[in-house]
Every structure is written in structure tokens, then in C-alpha cells.
Structure 1
Amino acid sequence: MRSLLRRVIRDGKQTAVLVTHSALDALVLADRVVVLTHGRVVEQGSTREVLGRPRSPFTARIAGLDLIPGVRTVGALRTDDGTVIAGRDGQPGGVDGSGRGAPGGGGEPAVAVFPPSAVAVFAEEPHGSPRNVLPVRLASIEPRGDVVRLRAAPREGGPGWLDGLAADVTPAAVADLGAEPGSLLWFAVKATEVEIHRAG
């Protein structure tokens, strides 16, 4: 099916609209994508841009990335509850395109995006180099080939944006952690692994 559709689209004689929940289908077949959530367009653009730099939690989930919403500050993102997520500026040329950043250090809606493979998981709060250390409750354990995806939920009273964050670890790491749904864990990610860019 993919090869037939690819031939129809690539010969330049036909335009096709494909509805899918598969990031792979979008990457292989589409030049442009439109992402709908609750019947509303939340993102659109080139396939590479939308899936590589998602601006909504739904798109990030499709692309297999973690996303935290907030507002941009100098070298970081601040969430609604005041948590500061350190990261790199993912906007080409700086926040405003000039290389200088936004006046006053930001304040515009932004997202912090990183892959689950960049997340380290600890049973006790880690100390040292990770700038971003998040207390979570383990919601689910999902085998995915040679890794295990640990899916987070907020601890009691914790911020809702933690819900669904993922970490990819080895089966041995899960055994060492003694992790099971309901376990209280810490997700840690280095600032160099986090890209911050505009939302919406």
C-alpha cells in the first residue's frame, strides 16, 4: 500500500490526502502534515519540521518525544507551577531570529522537547550534573524491543504536565530499580538534551 501510494504522489500527477496515526507513514509518504486534536488544527507544516520540533503534547506523543509546555526564560522554560527546565535554544538564530534572544529574556509561550532515551531514571533523588530532576510516579511499563519505556504520572499534588512523560531504559535498569506501576521515581535529563522552542 505504501509503495503504491508513494508512486501516485511522487509522479506529480496526483495529490493525495492520507489520514493516519502513524509517524512512520507521515515520514515516508508526506511532504506536509496537518495535526488535528479534538477536531482542531494544532500544527501544520513540513513533515520534518512538525515531527522534529513538535509544539503540542499530542504531536510529541506521535513523534515519540517528551514535551513540557511553559514560557521561555533565559536559557530555560518555566512551567505554570514554577518549575524551571534548563535547555538549549532551539530557535534558529536565537529566540527572535537575530541571534540576540527575546527582549527581557523571553516570556513567550514555549515548549521543552527531548527524547525518552535522554532520560535517566533513579530510585532516589540524584545529585550532580543533571539540571532537570523531576519527581514522578510510575504509571506504566511498556516493553519496546530491546528497551523498556517507563511512562510517568504526577505524584500526589504534582503538576499535570508530568503525565505521560517517558523514559527508555534497559530491562536490567528496571530490575535494578525494582520499578513497578506506582513506584516513586526521579526522571533526570541533562540541559544539553533539551531543546526549547516556540509553542504554537
Structure 2
Amino acid sequence: MRALLRRVIRDGKQTAVLVTHSALDALVLADRVVVLTEGRVVEDGGTREVLARPRSPFTARIAGLDLIPGVRDVDGLRTPDGLLVSGRADGVEVGDAAVAVFPPSAVAVHTTRPGGSPRNALRVRLAAIEPRGDVVRLRAGAAPGGPAWADGLAADVTPAAVADLAVEPGDELWFVIKATEVAIHGAG
């Protein structure tokens, strides 16, 4: 199928519309993507730009990234519940709607709130443990009294780390992300 679509697109005489949830298919086959959530367009643009700088949680998940919504603050991103997420802001003004984006591989997982230099520590409830090749994805759910936007965040760790943590769904954890690993950009 990919070979046929590539030939049609390369020919330049026809336009093809492909519906997919695969970031790989989109990157390989599309020059432009339109992302729909609940029947409405939430993102539209060049494939690489949309997948590298998602503005919606759904697009971030397709791209394999974590996303936290909020408003650009002088010191980073301020979530709707008031939490400050520190990161590197790019082209977004203070007060504008923004998102903080980071890969699950940038998330360290702790069973107790850690100290130290990482600026971002989020209390979550473990929702799922998902084997993914040589890593294990720990999928977060919102912790009791915690922000709803934490639901779906992910951390990629080694199987040995999961064994050392001795965690199971329902456990409360801390997802910790260094500010240098967080990109803050406009939400739309």
C-alpha cells in the first residue's frame, strides 16, 4: 500500500487522502496533515511541523510525545490548576495559550517526591504498564486531587527499573522531567 501511494504522490498528477493513526505513515507519505479530534480540526500543517510541535494531546500521543496545556508564564508554562512547568520557550509570548511538550524517554519515575535539580515533578497515579520492545511505558492517570491533564502522560523506563520500583496500576508515582527536556510553544 505504501509503495502504491508513494508512486501516486511522486507522479504529481493525483492527490491522495490517507486516513491513519500512524505517525510513520504520515511522515513517509504526507506533505501535509490535518488532525481531527471529536469531529473537528485541531491541527493542520506540514507533517514534520505538526508532529514535532503538537498543540493537542491527541496529536502529541500520535507523535509519541507528552503534552501539558497551559498559558505561557514568565518562568515557563502555567497549567489551568496553577502548576508551573519549567522548560525552554520558543516563539510564544507571556500570557498566550501554550503547551509544554517532551518525550516519554525524558521522564524519570520515583515512588516518593524527589529532591534535586529537576524543576518539574508531577504526582500521578499509574494507569497502565505497557511493554514496548526494550522499554516499558508507564502510562499515568490523574492522581486523586491532581490535575486531569496528567491523564495519559507517559514515561519510558527499562524493565529493570520497573522491577526495582515494584509498581502496579493504581500506585501513586512522581514523574520528573528536567526543564531542559521540555519545549514550550504556542497552542494554536
Query: TM bucket by the smaller chain?
Result: over 0.9
What amino acid sits opposite 1:129 in the alignment? S
Code of the residue aligned with 1:56 in structure 2: it is S
Tell me if the contact between 1:75 and 1:88 (Cα under 8 Å) persists in the aligned partners. Answer: no
Question: Residue 184 of structure 1: CA displacement?
Answer: 1.0
Q: How far, CA to CA, are the matches of 1:22 and 1:122 in structure 2? A: 31
| Map 1:1-200 → 2, pairs under 5 A | 1-91=1-91, 95=92, 102=93, 106-200=94-188
C-alpha distance in 2 between matches for 1:67 and 1:114: 7
Identity percentage of aligned residues? 78
Q: CA deviation at 1:75?
A: 3.6
- The CA RMSD over aligned residues, in Å, is 0.7
Q: Which runs of 4+ in 1 moved over 4 A?
A: none
Aligned-partner residue type, residue 89 of structure 2: D
May I ask how many residue pairs the two structures share in their alignment?
188
What does the per-residue CA deviation read over 1:159-199, in whole Å, with 9 as the maximum and x for residues that have no partner?
A: 10000000000000000000110111100000000000000
In the TM superposition, residue 89 of structure 1 has moved relative to its aligned partner by: 1.2
Task: Give the Å deviation of 1:13.
Answer: 1.1
Question: In 1, Cα distance between the equivalents of 2:167 and 2:158?
Answer: 12
Separation in 1 of the partners of 2:11 and 2:127?
Answer: 46
What secondary structure is seen at the aligned counterpart in 1 of 2:85? Answer: strand
Q: In 1, Cα distance between the equivalents of 2:19 and 2:152?
A: 24
TM superposition shift of 1:157: 1.3
Tell whether the 8 Å contact from 1:75 to 1:89 is kept in structure 2 after alignment: no
Deviations, residues 50-88 of structure 1 (Å, cap 9, x unaligned) = 000000001001101000000001140000100000000
Structure 1 window deviating more from structure 2 (108-117 vs 12-21): it is 12-21
Report how far residue 90 of structure 1 moved: 2.6
The 3-state SS of whatever aligns with 1:61 is: helix
Letter in 2 for 1:117: S
Question: Which residues of structure 2 form unaligned runs of 5+?
Answer: none
SS class of match (1:164): coil
Distance (whole Å) between structure 2 residues aligned to residue 90 and residue 150 of structure 1 = 28
SS in 2 for 1:117: helix
